[in-house]
Amino acid sequence: MLEGTLVDLVPFEDDFAIYLETWMNEEAWFRAHVWERREPHTEDDVKKYIENMEKNERGGLIGFQAKNGDPIGALIFDHEWTRVRKAEVRVVVGDSRYEGADEALDGLLMLVRYCFETRNLHRLDAVALPFHETWIEHLRRAGFVHEGTLRQHIRWDGDYVDLEMFGLLQSEWPGYVQKVAELSLQPSDIEPKPKPEKKEQKEAQPS
């Protein structure tokens, strides 16, 4: 476990894997995966996605949870490019109550911390839909620089919308500790969700 200020980073398993069956079919997932075709994800698709990320040598899927252990969502880095030491980052705020909350921002800061301070990457890329204001605000607060607008790039709900490009260099990152001190993060005191029903129990029930 890697401990942050408002959230902790943990392996993506157990309750996270159960929640992902819901999260992967919700808005937060599709907003964070703009390239993908919006289609239903079955239980098998979700399992396969987690397995693929476990095998992914150029990326990773990390769970992030509130200090009380309540799972919030997924931190993803992918397409890590060894020669240039860059990767793409995205945050899926699976529990929508945390959308825009400082816990979600701390998730992003912890992902940046991990990429720069542990993996020694040189540069991080991120993209945002122009109307996903909470994510853009978090990217800016984390220090990401707006690097361009891919015009009419994404088909979204009947329109072709722009895609905003952001980047952050390792040399621009003051370090997690200093960054958190600048931002004075505030916990949102959201009540933890009830634990999800375990799969095995569900399957054991007579039909």
Which lies closer to another protein via its Cβ, residue 97 or residue 122? 122
What Å distances lie between residue 189 and 26, 35, 40, 179, 186, CA to CA?
Answer: 23, 34, 32, 22, 9
If one asks whether residue 152 binds another protein (CB under 8 A), the answer comes out as: yes
If one asks whether residue 140 binds another protein (CB under 8 A), the answer comes out as: no
If one asks whether residue 147 binds another protein (CB under 8 A), the answer comes out as: yes
Of 167, 183, 190, 196, the one binding another protein by CB under 8 A: 167
Q: In angstroms, what is the minimal distance from the CB of 96 to another protein? A: 24
For the chain, the straight-line distance linking the first and the last C-alpha, in angstroms and rounded, comes to 39
Which of these segments, 23-31, 63-71, 108-116, 140-148, binds another protein (CB under 8 A)? Answer: 140-148
Q: How many chain residues bind another protein (CB under 8 A)?
A: 23
Of 28, 101, 125, 128, the one binding another protein by CB under 8 A: 125
Which residues are bridge partners to 122 per DSSP? none
Cβ 162 vs Cβ 127: under 8 Å: no
If one asks whether residue 122 binds another protein (CB under 8 A), the answer comes out as: yes
Look-up: residue for tokens 């599709």? 30
Cβ-in-10-Å burial (0-12, 13-18, 19+) of 17 comes to: middle
Contacts of 117 (CB under 8 A, 6+ apart): 175, 176
If one asks whether residue 151 binds another protein (CB under 8 A), the answer comes out as: yes
Of 69, 130, 148, 174, the one binding another protein by CB under 8 A: 148
Question: Helix 176-183 crosses helix 102-113 at what angle (to 10 degrees)?
Answer: 160
* Residues making contact with another protein (CB under 8 A): 35-37, 83-84, 86, 122-123, 125, 145, 147-155, 160, 165, 167, 169
